[in-house]
Structure 1
Amino acid sequence: MLILSLETSSPVCSVALHQAGILLGQVELRLEKSHSSHLSVLINQLLENTGHTLQDIAAVALSDGPGSYTGLRIGGAAAKGLCFALDIPLLAVSTLQALAWQVAAYTESPATCLYCPMLDARRMEVYTALYTHDSQEILPPTALVLTPDALAEQLGGHRVLFFGNGAVKLQSLLAEQSNAGFLAGIEPLAVAVGALAWGAFQRQEFRDVAYYEPFYLKEVYTTTPKVK
């Protein structure tokens, strides 16, 4: 059972291939605004390197959001196109949950911590959630304005690890909080999406290919250039 996973919610564009939950390979590209021109190239490269073709894929999984509006749209369009063409199911994995899994999977004594991914939502706002080491949701995905009292209740009784490109905005506010730990350089990756997608595949938690939309969390605002 091969699952192809796509992660396009951040500046890192990555693709992974799992077989029954076991990682076969992954590729990533850390170039700003490269998703639309390179995603299909990365997919073909990964399949070629692992000795597979598109016809071998049993399902496509993608990072569901929140995250970059443009990136999520690109990933969604690519995933839906593959599912339509190959007549295979679509799986969607929370970006925040997958990011938390990435950290918990490589944390010593993971059960002693809670995991708080944070994605930058501009100004002092982040997209965040809170998870246990085994991906159980403590705080659902939310758009949070950061203050010194942010997540005070959770920090009062647990060691909480903060990571993601929005966590740096909280670090200075919690300088005196001994239960807060901060990890740098953690970006959403397709390998985590694929790891969680295997469980969703077994539970047959498939999404409607025709009507699927990414989880943007907040309404997207667009502007029209002023006519000179």
Structure 2
Amino acid sequence: MTRVLVVDDEPQLVRSLVISLKARKYDVASSPDGGTALEAAAGRRPDVVLLDLGLPDMDGIDVIKRLRGWSQVPILVLSARHDSEEKVQALDAGADDYITKPFSMDELLARLGAVTRRGLAHDSVGPDEAVVETEEFTVDLLARKARRGGNNIRLTPTEWHLLEVLIRNKGRLVSRRRLLQEVWGSSSRSQTNYLRVYMAHLRRKLEADPSHPRHLITVSGLGYRFEA
């Protein structure tokens, strides 16, 4: 059973989410603020965290940063903040996806399923395609390890999933629509800004010259390709 931690200080919303998710066979716990959420995440080890950014004791982005200090649990942000800069900050901090309030339960369930699959995706990678070495970096998808210049590079669960899809299609163009569907789910197939943000993250972390990438290639208007 998938364990979900809901972090939000709106009792009515939390109650609705807990009832709806439990009815769909999720194991659900909730926290009203960042401090108790961090304690619950450490003690309960959820499979996914649903996180509001406007918490009473600390900003949700700080919660993401603290979680990312020791955990790669998928984080789905639920927030009333509509500013695209806020979304980018949450993604930069390590969130996997972002839903703006108000949202439908169907959309939430689709996004929740997508981020949960990302956490499990590395289990399906075969040993013969798990390790990729380039002149600049080495990636081991099964071990969830990336190294560049002798240093370990931390990648978020979404970055790992995006990189895995590209590596498994090495040398072949992967359309934007396919990447969005595989990494974020079918409800996000038009959200090409997600791809731009995460491809920029991967290039900054892995490429020697992110502005002139050698391995994570954009095919203008079509999609992306990985070249070893």
Fold match, TM over 0.5?
A: no
**Structure of greater relative contact order (alpha carbons < 8 Å, 6+ residues apart):** 1
**Structure with the higher helix share, 1 or 2:** 2
Would you tell me which structure has more strand in proportion to its own residues?
A: 1
**TM-score normalized with structure 1 length:** 0.29
TM-score of the superposed pair, with normalisation by structure 2: 0.29
